[in-house]
A and B are shown apart, each in its own frame.
Chain A
Amino acid sequence: MALIDTLNPLLTTGWSKGDAGWSLKDYETRGGYAQLKRILASKMSPDDIIAEVKKSGLRGRGGAGFPTGLKWSFMPKAAPEKYVVCNTDEGEPGTFKDRDLLRYDPHSVIEGMIIAGYAVGAARGYNYIHGEIFDIYRRFEAALDEARAAGYLGERILGSDFSFELFAHHGWGAYVCGEETGLLESIEGKKGQPRYKPPFPANFGLYGKPTTINNTETFAAIPFIMGLGGDAYLNLGKPNNGGTKLFSISGHVNRPGNYEVPMGTPFAKLLEMAGGMRGGRQLKAVIPGGSSAPVLPAEVIMECTMDYESIAKAGSMLGSGAVIVMDETVCMVKALERLSYFYYEESCGQCTPCREGSGWLYRVVHRIEHGEGRAEDLDLLNRVTDNMMGKTICALADAAALPVRGFIKNFRSEFEYHIEHKKCLVDPEVQRMGSGFFKAGAA
């Protein structure tokens, strides 16, 4: 997926040559590793780096939006063994930005992780990469080899006192490992079942040692923040929403793909960049932040800007920046059925409300979709979500519940039609042709 259009490219500056621009040489040509060199040569204090990241307003790009500089500052100073971990277990349906970051610009993530290691006093890091993108894992390993050979990784980096090693670890198909403590368990060679928090990873992380864990895009932003300065980076976006953000646009647009825009860009502009609606059809709904985020009707999302506050005010979440666009050919009950099946399949099973609740949600939505819904089912679904949200170790239960609530809240009449008439509001043939899989007129 090549980048097609962008405003203020920063993270995507290295993407213009597609698969031909990822190597160390290319990265250095565009100014790569200059920040690491400057930090090491000037013996910059770790506190100054953390202060700069705080100033930048960078918030975690994996979905939670936690201030990155603040997270780094939680790391205990004195601990003898600490880790930096990158979360590239990108499995939130709709999200595919980290894959392209590692594909086109893996060294920006490596440099970001080394700088993070320097700032928090860690000597070792791991990048946990989604198992389904094995080609990207291989590429990241090749980039690590390059960085090692050039002296950016290893003992006494570039002649300084700072040593840092970095390795790649792959997943093998478990959505829950995107949850940071599930991911840490997975690196430890166990089932990826999330841990109770507190203690948070900054105190008890990988192998029980203090650990800073950030999303791929968060680390990729670090060299740019150090280059521009925190203030300049912040000013690219809007207050409390620093910098630029990658949005992964999927579904019914003419040019699905990743788009980098300043935080606060109007949704309408983003949709235009993605080529507008496929076939000129009407926008029906958008999931603005990955499948866990509540769906928003067209008229609401068209008034939103793409930043944490605007989307939250509209009743959803910016999340990971996965924008799933649905047009008038979509049956909302069927759409929710796909999502509910996913959470049912991916619940790790350790918490009863999630293990049982996700099954209830899927089975009830499934029966509505298949013409066996009952009048009381919508209340039943909402009641099940009440019994899931906030009642489990990790947020997967909430992630399963929020889409159900959002779909029912915003498209209740379509669910009611389904229950009453035992069929879709949208004609099945219209739905069938909506995906673009079949050529018009073909059987």
Chain B
Amino acid sequence: MNKQNDMLNSDSLTKIDREVAKYPADQKQSAVMAALVIAQDEKGWLSQETIAAVAGYLGMAPMAVYEVASFYNMYDLQPVGKYKLTVCTNLPCALSGGVHAADYVKQKLGIDFNETTSDGKFTLKEGECMGACGDAPVMLVNNKRMCSFMLPEQIDRLLAECN
């Protein structure tokens, strides 16, 4: 058990503790979604070992944690590039260029959806509605940073910024 806990650094564990405190004492499992995000932020992606570490820390069965990690789209169960770009191609975004923006990024990076550039820098994902349809085209960078109105010039600038 201790060996598994050692796998997440103390900063991550402090953050997880803060999430656990939001729920009734007998409902630690409620913190699993936040804990997986914290673990993913630290490790870059969620390996079986990382999932087991989260399970150990929250007193859950590893399979129960895996069920959560595999159900929600933004957990990465495979390694991703340093920058994961997720482009919304749903209808409201597509009307204002979401699909075209995705095509543009594909062409710029020479990769398709669910691929990573050979230098390991970028992974491209197709996203579903991010709830920002008025700002289309919309992209997420590493799940947490939303970029709005992504026309060719803005995409060029974003890609250049990512080092």
Contacts and interface: CB of A to CB of B under 8 A. Distances in A.
Interface of A: 1, 90-96, 98-99, 124, 126, 130-135, 167-175, 186-192, 207, 248-252, 256-258, 287, 291, 322, 324-326, 330, 335, 338-339, 342, 345-346, 348, 432, 434-438
Contacts of A257: 134
Interface in B121-135: 127-135
Contacts of B152: 437-438
B95 A173 contact: no
B89 interface: yes
A93 B136 contact: no
B67 A96 contact: no
Which residue, of A90, A99, A131, A346, has the highest number of chain B Cβ atoms within 10 A? A131
A132 B140 contact: yes
Q: Which 7 A-B pairs give the minimum distances between C-beta atoms? A: A437-B97, A173-B73, A189-B29, A437-B100, A250-B133, A173-B74, A132-B130
Interface of B: 22-24, 27, 29-34, 36-37, 58, 60, 64, 67-68, 71-75, 89-92, 94-101, 104, 127-137, 140, 143-146, 151-152
Contacts of B104: 437
A99 B29 CA distance: 27
A322 to B, nearest CB: 7
Contact of B74 (A124, A172, A186): A172
Contacts of A436: 96-97, 151
A131 B133 contact: no
B134 A190 contact: no
Nearest to B137: A437
A342 B129 contact: yes
Contacts of B137: 437
A134 B152 CA distance: 25
Contact of B92 (A94, A133, A135): A94
Contact of A131 (B22, B32, B72, B145): B72
Contacts of A190: 29, 64, 67-68
B101 A186 contact: no
B146 A93 contact: no
B92 A324 contact: yes
A437 B151 contact: yes
A171 B131 contact: no
B68 A248 contact: no
Contacts of A187: 30
Nearest to A434: B95
A170 B92 contact: no
A133 B130 contact: yes
12 contacts: A91-B130, A131-B143, A134-B145, A188-B30, A189-B29, A189-B31, A250-B134, A258-B134, A287-B91, A324-B95, A335-B95, A436-B96
